[in-house]
Chain A
């Protein structure tokens, strides 16, 4: 039996002749925290809108829990959504909005009050009597998370939830996502790579409406990014350093070796081979070594390698 909760097959959305989403194939397994990563305008929000039944695909299919939410609105009771900038009725209190959302979702009357109180506590809005119109951005985002969870969804879609938050608000919100991910599948769209590294276990990278790759964060770092070795010599002669970089680049397990600020950075396929071979190559060169360090590729480097440098 399929364990997929989100599936896109050849999903395309065109506005006139421009394809916002172009033949996207994507799948998300139950229980994962899926980072949907792409630069601004890559097609993330449009994809989420089609998955949520708020927009119709030009072609292809988008299903959540096996259903097309445009034609099967009942399934929406099992799905939660937090848009990038959630808009509320400013004349309601947070509690009133959650009660309203819960009733629309079909939560049993007997359970609703206690569930709303518990959610308000979880998002830190329990003792806030003011109307939503007086909330800060961070408070609105947390209320947005609470309304998305009021129906105890099996899948939670978050569209760029941290973009508008200050560093502390962002940190708190990411902690909230981590907590929530223990009880639901999370699809988290963002262009902030650090957020994905912090909370997601799987990643789909989208660019120009197409899926570039989909894998676990660890796989991406290893398969796309490889390992990087930093070699610092006790000399600042650029010719000598450049010569050694060229020599290192000829090794079969080295993808590339370049000189950055007098330091050689060698990206390798095999960490084990590099640990054995690189020190001996340096020793043979006769150049004095002052630092030899292995570091993992971060997601930012992987992202830039996959979608191009203009993504910066």
Chain B
């Protein structure tokens, strides 16, 4: 086994144990499962809750909710609560190790710095994918229970798009945690990138179809049947390319960094 692969495997194992023992993974999973289950419930019962809160004699005309409302609610939570939880959990990936001094006792070993960054990124990606998949499963289950005529193909494709977008976000979190010594600053910078990616599609000219920020819009279009499943290819590819660039930058910078 090459040194790089050995480093990666040992560090990946350590990151996995750390994620589980420090409750980071469980917190992330808890947040994702919470809104995964809550979204269908909220979509189903919100009109009734609103109606019951109205004064006597006042009526509210709200169309009966469908499974689409459930999935829309899910993506709304994913884009806000999910993104925030993910940034908070991953923003100190490298900077915390540097600040605490734990990185020194790792870096004086015969290991590759590339392996160090990749192991951290991989475990964060894995944690996020597991959280999204379990959360999605919960949302689908409750949607099937609460709604009729449920179509999930478009929804699942949109989820794949979101996973790709979140891989990009995590990669930027890792990059900023290499660049900045403060975890909070790294988190803020990632949040800035997230907002920027969300704004870019507004300018049209293909930016609403071929950039990572196009994932939410294209996902909705696919769910509504307004776009074919192929439409998700470019936002996913763009997200993964951007993620790869962010990780490459993180590795390059970390290799030159003094500890």
Q: Residues of A at under 8 Å CB distance from B?
A: 49, 52-56, 73-77, 79, 81, 83, 85-89, 91, 100-101, 103-106, 147, 151
When C-beta atoms are compared, the residue in chain B nearest to A77 turns out to be: B110
Asked if residues A55 and B108 are in contact (CB atoms below 8 Å), the reply is: no
Known: A100-B14, A106-B6. Is A147-B105 also a contact (CB below 8 A)? Answer: yes
Complex contacts, A91 vs chain B, CB 8 Å: 17-18, 21-22
The complex places the Cα of A103 from the Cα of B3 at a distance, in Å, of 11
Asked if residues B18 and A104 are in contact (CB atoms below 8 Å), the reply is: no
The complex places the Cα of A59 from the Cα of B109 at a distance, in Å, of 24
Complex contacts, B17 vs chain A, CB 8 Å: 91
When C-beta atoms are compared, the residue in chain A nearest to B3 turns out to be: A74
When C-beta atoms are compared, the residue in chain B nearest to A81 turns out to be: B108
Q: What's the minimum C-beta distance from A107 to chain B, rounded to whole angstroms? A: 11
Complex contacts, B104 vs chain A, CB 8 Å: 54, 81, 83, 87
Asked if residues B110 and A76 are in contact (CB atoms below 8 Å), the reply is: yes
Asked if residues A87 and B102 are in contact (CB atoms below 8 Å), the reply is: yes
Asked if residues B110 and A106 are in contact (CB atoms below 8 Å), the reply is: yes
Complex contacts, B109 vs chain A, CB 8 Å: 76-77, 101, 104-105, 151
A-B residue pairs, 4 tightest by C-beta: A87-B101, A104-B109, A77-B110, A55-B258
Question: Is B7 engaged at the interface, CB distance under 8 Å to the other chain?
Answer: yes
The complex places the Cα of A75 from the Cα of B258 at a distance, in Å, of 18
Q: A52-B108, A101-B105 are known contacts; what are 19 more A-B pairs with Cβ within 8 Å?
A: A49-B258, A53-B108, A55-B258, A56-B258, A73-B110, A81-B105, A81-B108, A83-B104, A85-B101, A86-B105, A87-B102, A87-B105, A89-B14, A91-B21, A91-B22, A100-B10, A100-B14, A105-B110, A147-B105
Q: What's the minimum C-beta distance from A74 to chain B, rounded to whole angstroms? A: 5
- Contact partner, A54, options B3, B22, B100, B107, Cβ 8 Å: B107
When C-beta atoms are compared, the residue in chain B nearest to A147 turns out to be: B105
Chain B residues bordering chain A, tally (CB within 8 A):
24
Asked if residues B111 and A55 are in contact (CB atoms below 8 Å), the reply is: no
Question: Is B54 engaged at the interface, CB distance under 8 Å to the other chain?
Answer: no
Complex contacts, B100 vs chain A, CB 8 Å: 87
When C-beta atoms are compared, the residue in chain A nearest to B113 turns out to be: A73
When C-beta atoms are compared, the residue in chain B nearest to A89 turns out to be: B102
Selected A-B contacts with CB under 8 Å, 28 pairs: A54-B104, A54-B107, A54-B259, A55-B258, A55-B259, A56-B258, A73-B110, A73-B112, A74-B3, A74-B110, A75-B110, A76-B109, A79-B108, A81-B104, A81-B105, A83-B104, A86-B101, A87-B104, A88-B105, A91-B18, A101-B105, A104-B7, A104-B106, A104-B109, A105-B110, A106-B3, A106-B6, A147-B105
Q: What's the minimum C-beta distance from B100 to chain A, rounded to whole angstroms? A: 5
The complex places the Cα of A97 from the Cα of B101 at a distance, in Å, of 15
Q: Residues of B at under 8 Å CB distance from A?
A: 3, 6-7, 10-11, 14, 17-18, 21-22, 100-102, 104-112, 258-259
The complex places the Cα of A56 from the Cα of B110 at a distance, in Å, of 17
When C-beta atoms are compared, the residue in chain A nearest to B23 turns out to be: A91
The complex places the Cα of A104 from the Cα of B14 at a distance, in Å, of 11
The complex places the Cα of A147 from the Cα of B109 at a distance, in Å, of 11
The complex places the Cα of A91 from the Cα of B19 at a distance, in Å, of 10
Complex contacts, A86 vs chain B, CB 8 Å: 101, 105
Complex contacts, B10 vs chain A, CB 8 Å: 100, 103-104
Asked if residues A54 and B101 are in contact (CB atoms below 8 Å), the reply is: no
The complex places the Cα of A147 from the Cα of B110 at a distance, in Å, of 14
When C-beta atoms are compared, the residue in chain B nearest to A100 turns out to be: B14
Asked if residues B102 and A104 are in contact (CB atoms below 8 Å), the reply is: no
Known: A83-B101, A87-B105. Is A54-B7 also a contact (CB below 8 A)? Answer: no
Q: What's the minimum C-beta distance from A7 to chain B, rounded to whole angstroms? A: 18
The complex places the Cα of A91 from the Cα of B106 at a distance, in Å, of 16
Q: What's the minimum C-beta distance from B130 to chain A, rounded to whole angstroms? A: 20
Complex contacts, B112 vs chain A, CB 8 Å: 73
Complex contacts, A79 vs chain B, CB 8 Å: 108
Complex contacts, A54 vs chain B, CB 8 Å: 104, 107-108, 258-259
Complex contacts, A151 vs chain B, CB 8 Å: 109
Q: What's the minimum C-beta distance from A57 to chain B, rounded to whole angstroms? A: 11
**Most chain B Cβ neighbours within 10 Å, of A55, A56, A89, A151:** A89
When C-beta atoms are compared, the residue in chain B nearest to A80 turns out to be: B108
The complex places the Cα of A49 from the Cα of B104 at a distance, in Å, of 10
**Most chain A Cβ neighbours within 10 Å, of B105, B106, B108:** B108
Complex contacts, B102 vs chain A, CB 8 Å: 87-89
